[in-house]
C-alpha cells in the first residue's frame, strides 16, 4: 500500500490533566503517515484522483484547537478517527507530541504513537 507522510504539524491546544493545561494551553506537534492507493493519481496526473493532504492538516489543527480532553490518549484517538473518516485514507499512523510537559526538571517532550485502520 502507498503512503503519504505529513510531519511537523504544530498547533496550540488545551488538552491536559492539570487545570492550567486546559486554561493556559500548550503546544502540540503531530506527524502522520496516511496509507492509501496513489496509483489512480499516478495514472491520470489529476489532483481529483489523489488525497488532498491539506484536509488532514486542517483536521488535526481543528481538533487540537477545539478539544479539551484530560488525556492526550483521548486527543490522539480523536485525531485518528477524524483522519480515517477522510476520503481515500485506509490506515493512519499518528505521532502526537506534547512539547512542554508540566513536569518539574523535565525539558523533554511526551510522545504517543498509534496506528489505526
Q: Mind listing the pLDDT tens digit of every residue in the chain (117 residues)?
A: 899 999 999 999 999 999 989 999 999 999 999 999 999 999 999 999 999 999 999 999 999 999 999 999 999 999 999 999 999 999 999 999 999 877 788 888 999 999 999
Question: Which entry of 43, 95, 98, 109 is annotated as an active-site residue?
Answer: 98
Domain that holds residue 54: 2-116
Can you give the CATH number for the domain in which 85 is found?
Answer: 3.30.1130.10
Is-catalytic flag, 98?
A: yes
Q: What is the pTM of this model?
A: 0.93
The pLDDT assigned to 102 comes to: 78
Instruction: Work out whether the CA dihedral 94, 99, 101, 104 comes out positive or negative.
Output: positive
Cell of 61: 489543527
Return the pLDDT at 107.
83
Distances in whole angstroms, Cα of residue 24 to Cα of each of 13, 21, 102, 108: 9, 5, 12, 19
pLDDT of 104 reads: 81
The total number of structural domains in the chain stands at: 1
Amino acid at each position: 500500500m502507498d503512503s503519504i507522510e505529513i510531519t511537523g504539524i504544530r498547533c496550540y491546544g488545551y488538552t491536559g490533566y492539570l487545570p492550567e493545561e486546559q486554561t493556559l494551553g500548550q503546544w502540540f506537534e503531530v506527524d502522520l503517515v496516511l496509507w492509501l492507493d496513489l496509483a489512480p493519481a499516478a495514472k491520470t496526473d489529476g489532483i481529483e484522483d489523489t488525497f488532498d493532504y491539506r484536509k488532514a492538516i486542517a483536521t488535526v489543527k481543528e481538533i487540537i484547537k477545539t478539544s479539551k480532553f484530560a488525556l492526550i490518549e483521548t486527543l490522539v484517538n480523536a485525531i485518528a478517527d477524524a483522519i480515517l473518516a477522510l476520503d481515500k485514507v485506509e490506515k493512519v499512523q499518528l505521532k502526537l507530541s506534547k512539547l512542554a510537559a508540566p513536569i518539574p526538571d523535565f525539558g523533554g517532550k511526551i510522545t504517543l504513537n498509534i496506528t489505526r485502520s
